[in-house]
Amino acid sequence: MTDQAQLLPGTLDLLILRAVSIGALHGYGILLRIGQISGNALLIEQGALYPGLFRLVRQGLLTTSWGTSENNRRAKFYELTEAGHKRLREETDSWNRLVAAIAAALSQQPEEA
Amino acid sequence: MKLLDSLRFRMAALFQRSRINAEMEEELRSHIEHRAADLERSGLDRAEAERRARVEFGGREKYKEECREAMGGNRIGSILQDMRYSLRQLRKSPGFTIAAVLTLALAIGANAVVFGVLNALILRPVNVPDAKSLYAVDLTNDAWESYPNYLDLRDRNRGFEGLAALGLSQVALDTGKDPSRIWGFEATGNYFDVLGIQPYLGRLFHPSDERGLNSAPYIVLTYAYWHSHFQDDRGVVGRAVRVNSHPYTILGVTPPDFRGTFIFFAPNFYVPMVNQDQIGGDSALNNRERRGVIQVLGHLKPGVTPERAVADLDTVGASLAKAYPKENARESFTLGRPSMPSVIGRPVRAFVAALMLLAGLILLAACANLGSLFAARASDRSREVALRLALGSSRNRILRQLLTEALLISLAGGSAGLLGSIALLRRLDTWQPFSGVPLHVPVQPDANVYLVALVLAVVSGLLFGIVPVRQVFRTNPYEIVKAGSAGRVGRRIAAREILLVAQIAICAVLVTASMVAVRGLARSLHGNFGIDPNNVMLVETDLKISGYSPASIQPMQRRMIDALEAIPGVEHVGLVSFPPLGRGGSWKANVFRDETKDLSPSNAAANSYMYVISPDYLHAAGTTLLEGRTFTWHDDKGAPPVAMVNREFAAKILGSSSNAVGKYYKVSDGTRVQVVGIVEDGKYLSVTEAQQPAMFMPLAQQDPLGEQWILVRSARDPQQLAATARTRLRALDAGMPLDIVLWTRELDFSMFSARMASVSLGVLGLMGAMLSITGIFGMAAYSVSKRLRELGIRIALGARRTEVLKAALGRAVKLLGIGSAAGLVLGILASRVLSFIVYQATPRDPLVLAGVVLAMLLLGLVATWIPALRALSVDPLKLLREE
């Protein structure tokens, strides 16, 4: 438990986009996928996923459709739109730049002492 | 486009709310089921798996709310939610709701009515093409213009596209059946061309129709008259009719939406002014002194400012004064609105503005009233607010909900008020205060009125809704929940009390204003006008219209007087050119001191009212002769010119009223007139005028009258008398048009504006009184209910009734006192404004002061009665048990 990290604000959307980019998923599936691709290193309350999903749908980055899940339950599936793909690429780039910059800053040795 | 999309999305979201909610519910449930299934597979039993799944999911309702918010469309949703909540709250306290809605309905209704009048009379332009550049050329001294002067103005000014002129006239129109006397305009030939009016039927007259005196025997009917008297018969064009027994041709009909340029006066017809001789019985077309043109109007040329046009007109006026010094004083001009002559327009505008101010005060008082009620409610609900805050509701949301409540009330009140005012305005619009005169007040409400009512409703809702805001922001949930319902904060009451004092002060101003008005009206109705109109019948005829030659007029007048005097029961019969305070207006003439040599208008000692009378007129009119003698039939052309004058005339022109008999003065043709009698002062044109000089000249020494009024004084039943008088006069001339009316009835006309003013002020005062009742009542009832427990304890400890009352209502009464005193002082200051409009309105009248004090006391008594009863009937045992 202790090695799980709190999510940075704003990053949940990016994770959702990333999770869905591999293929259409329902909400619970997205949660599992995020756990899987992050190595279960991130801590979110499960319900917190949904406001994010609705927000992304409203922004036109995701589309939804009702279908049947792998264990035969009705579920709502989310899929990336064209705009979603584009946004994912942009966000990933800027995230990488940010991480690189922060990492560079942190790895810099102080001049003295 | 984007906005439209987002709107569509929101609307869709709104209407699909229930479907979306169901879907959301299903999705979340599906999530939890998936999770539970996974947990079950990992070895938990079914029930435990489901419990864990729900716990891991977190607050479902919270996330649903967040989802809705994330979807947008939520704002409308939450507004609807607020509205539903507010409606529930309001339904829970119907008394409060009804009182609030009624208060606002009255206040907004009053404002909508007054604004409707303001809008119709002042804001709305005359219904002609390009009304913006249309101006009336008014003389700064409010006098009328003469026709020759008008011609000079028309031809010599350089600021106007064209100038038309208008005169008022009444003619006997005979269309083959039922000859009747109707009112209309005599207009210059260019009138319709200047205004840009196209005919509805046939054609209108043009300058080319005028070829000198009586050259254009044409009449143009208005749509309204054609519609009501010719039943829309399109064949009237070209038909021959008789106007004052002269043959005329109906040229055409004006369009339905053109009702003349005067707002109060809808004419029945238009006739060319060059035919004035036939229409009015005599012609003033070549007389620079006879000022019969009531309005000169035209469109400014493009690019000409009103200032430049006035300067240009003033140069023309100056040259006229130079060229005709006998007839013209130096005239200066202003440009006015064509809808009302300036002499009417100015007081009407002032009065409507004053009314608007008072109506605004009423709305302000209503807002103060509702504001304090809302503050009281909010403090009663402080526990609820505290609980909601403690449970995580945001202050914004609570405020929004309070404002929603205020807005709901104000919209309900506003629409009720608007509906009422529309009904009232429609009534007023069709109201014809005087039969026979096409006088009316066109105040059909329009979109402007609706808009103003709506804006007022919303603004006042925000105004009184905001009062409790500070209270909510300061609410500390922990303190209030801890302290329980008895907890109260002292300063909150203070704010409410200030509101109440302000409200009572405003109401006292209104009550004072209406008292002053009502008192003024009472005085004006019982004032001394220098006449006694009771038991007097007026017979109006026009011998010139009836075709008598100047030489035959005076013998006919004597025969008519003799015939009427012979009726049994008739005490006195007098003949006069125009009766004082009648609707026919009055003649005025310049008079000069005896020693004045140069008789140009600028040297005149006064512009005096002038009445041409028969010998017995003073008795018939009930005017007292103070000194000297009245006329006899021997004061004729062969005798030296004589006159009777009123005291004001004697004091102003002859130096003193005591020994004026025997003195001389001059009239503008140079005749020396000897004063043989002094009569009491009176009112001549309107009851509100300052004392004016007046002179009375003998009938037999003056030019024959056209229009004339015969006063018949008799105690007999008016209807019988009228019938007898009619038959006696018909026996002299069967074809003579006659109007017979009671003098008291005729006086209504000149009292009209004073009465209207008094009635409207009275109504506003009444509304102010009602508002102060509800305000004091609300305050008193609230303070009693707040302190019931304390009062109970006092009673249990043996307090006497007076002490209980003092404790319960002392504050309310004190506030009432402070507010009334402040309002009274303000009202007295404001009444100076009223005295311009309402006859004899003086606030320093002890009766008014006493009346206001008494009224406010009564209002206080009425308003605190029920709360006082409630305070006295407190049962301490029951109260203490309840807590």
Query: Above 90 in pLDDT, residue A50?
Result: no
Distance from CA of B82 to the nearest CA of A (A): 23
Distance from CA of A107 to the nearest CA of B (A): 37
User: How far apart (Å, rounded) are the C-alpha atoms in residues B60 and A8?
Assistant: 22
Distance from CA of A61 to the nearest CA of B (A): 13
CB contact B31 to A (< 8 Å): yes
Query: Above 90 in pLDDT, residue A39?
Result: no
**Which DSSP string do the residues of B764-782 spell out, in sequence order?**
HHHHHHHHHHHHHHHHHHH
**Could you tell me whether strands B218-221 and B246-253 are parallel, antiparallel, or unpaired per DSSP bridges?**
parallel
Higher per-residue confidence, B124 vs B880: B124
Pick B67's closest partner by Cβ from A26, A29, A54.
A54
| Cβ contact, residue pair B31, A46, below 8 Å | yes
pLDDT (mean) for B848-857:
80
Contact B533, B713 (CB under 8 A): no
| Cβ contact, residue pair A26, B56, below 8 Å | no
pLDDT at residue B852 in the model: 80
Phi, psi of B618 (to 5 degrees): -60, -45
Distance from CA of B477 to the nearest CA of A (A): 29
| Cβ contact, residue pair B66, A74, below 8 Å | no
One-letter amino acid identity for B842? T
pLDDT in tens, B665-714: 999 888 899 999 999 998 888 776 778 899 999 999 988 887 889 999 99
Domain ranges of chain B: 2-72, 131-338, 346-523+750-882, 544-735
Higher per-residue confidence, A57 vs B875: A57
Q: List strand residue ranges (DSSP E) for B661-796, in order.
A: 664-667, 672-679, 694-698, 707-714, 739-742
pLDDT at residue B491 in the model: 45
At residue B841 the predicted structure's pLDDT band, cuts being 50, 70 and 90, is low
pLDDT (mean) for B188-216:
90
Question: What's the helix, strand, coil split of chain B in %, to 5?
Answer: 55, 15, 30
Query: Above 70 in pLDDT, residue B796?
Result: yes
Contact B696, B702 (CB under 8 A): no
Report residue B679 as tokens. Answer: 């009569």
pLDDT (mean) for B23-34:
87
> What global pTM score does this model have?
0.68
User: How far apart (Å, rounded) are the C-alpha atoms in residues B124 and B96?
Assistant: 39
B59 vs A contacts (CB less than 8 Å): 47
Query: Above 70 in pLDDT, residue B451?
Result: yes
pLDDT at residue A1 in the model: 38
CB contact B319 to A (< 8 Å): no
B28 vs A contacts (CB less than 8 Å): 47, 50
User: How far apart (Å, rounded) are the C-alpha atoms in residues B883 and B878?
Assistant: 9
Query: Above 70 in pLDDT, residue B525?
Result: no
pLDDT at residue B493 in the model: 55
Contact B124, B352 (CB under 8 A): no
Question: Which element (helix H / strand E) includes B334?
Answer: strand B333-336
Query: Above 50 in pLDDT, residue B662?
Result: yes
Backbone CA torsion sign across B853, B856, B860, B862: positive
pLDDT at residue B839 in the model: 54
pLDDT (mean) for B522-548:
81
CB contact A69 to B (< 8 Å): yes
A28 vs B contacts (CB less than 8 Å): 30-31, 34-35
Percent with pLDDT over 70 in chain B: 89
Among B270-274, B366-370, B749-753, where is mean pLDDT lowest? B749-753
Among A37-41, B99-103, B237-241, B297-301, where is mean pLDDT lowest? A37-41
B31 vs A contacts (CB less than 8 Å): 26-28, 31, 46, 50
CB contact B230 to A (< 8 Å): no
A55 vs B contacts (CB less than 8 Å): 70
Q: Minimal Cα distance from B31: which residue of A?
A: A28
pLDDT in tens, A69-101: 887 888 889 988 998 899 899 888 988 888 888
CB contact A33 to B (< 8 Å): no
Q: Minimal Cα distance from B53: which residue of A?
A: A46
Among A47-56, B408-417, B623-632, B873-882, where is mean pLDDT lowest? B873-882
Query: Above 80 in pLDDT, residue B376?
Result: no
CA quadruple B269, B272, B275, B276: dihedral, nearest 10: 70
Q: What is the mean pLDDT of chain A?
A: 81
Higher per-residue confidence, B164 vs B435: B164
pLDDT (mean) for B600-628:
90
pLDDT at residue B862 in the model: 82
A57 vs B contacts (CB less than 8 Å): 71
* Cβ neighbours of residue B482 closer than 8 Å, sequence gap 6 or more: none
At residue B355 the predicted structure's pLDDT band, cuts being 50, 70 and 90, is confident
CB contact A72 to B (< 8 Å): no
A40 vs B contacts (CB less than 8 Å): none
Query: Above 70 in pLDDT, residue B824?
Result: yes
pLDDT (mean) for B813-838:
75
Among B6-10, B779-783, B794-798, B847-851, where is mean pLDDT lowest? B6-10
Query: Above 70 in pLDDT, residue A7?
Result: no
pLDDT at residue A46 in the model: 83
Higher per-residue confidence, B774 vs B682: B682
CB contact A48 to B (< 8 Å): yes
At residue B871 the predicted structure's pLDDT band, cuts being 50, 70 and 90, is confident
Among A95-99, B26-30, B418-422, B778-782, where is mean pLDDT lowest? B778-782
| Cβ contact, residue pair B71, A52, below 8 Å | no
User: How far apart (Å, rounded) are the C-alpha atoms in residues B273 and B24?
Assistant: 82
B33 vs A contacts (CB less than 8 Å): 73
pLDDT in tens, B59-99: 777 788 778 777 765 566 677 777 888 888 888 878 778 88
CB contact B70 to A (< 8 Å): yes
pLDDT in tens, B476-517: 666 666 655 444 444 455 677 787 788 888 888 888 877 777
Higher per-residue confidence, B326 vs B147: B147
| Cβ contact, residue pair A50, B27, below 8 Å | yes
Among B119-128, B580-589, B619-628, where is mean pLDDT lowest? B580-589
Contact B251, B204 (CB under 8 A): yes
pLDDT at residue B832 in the model: 66
CB contact A65 to B (< 8 Å): no
Pick B63's closest partner by Cβ from A26, A48, A73.
A48
Pick B63's closest partner by Cβ from A51, A75, A76.
A51
User: How far apart (Å, rounded) are the C-alpha atoms in residues B39 and A28?
Assistant: 13
Percent with pLDDT over 90 in chain B: 20
| Cβ contact, residue pair B34, A69, below 8 Å | yes
Pick A51's closest partner by Cβ from B26, B37, B66.
B66
Among B202-211, B661-670, B689-698, B846-855, where is mean pLDDT lowest? B846-855
Query: Above 70 in pLDDT, residue B275?
Result: yes
Among B310-319, B622-631, B641-650, B816-825, where is mean pLDDT lowest? B816-825
pLDDT at residue B489 in the model: 45
B58 vs A contacts (CB less than 8 Å): 45-48
pLDDT at residue B282 in the model: 67
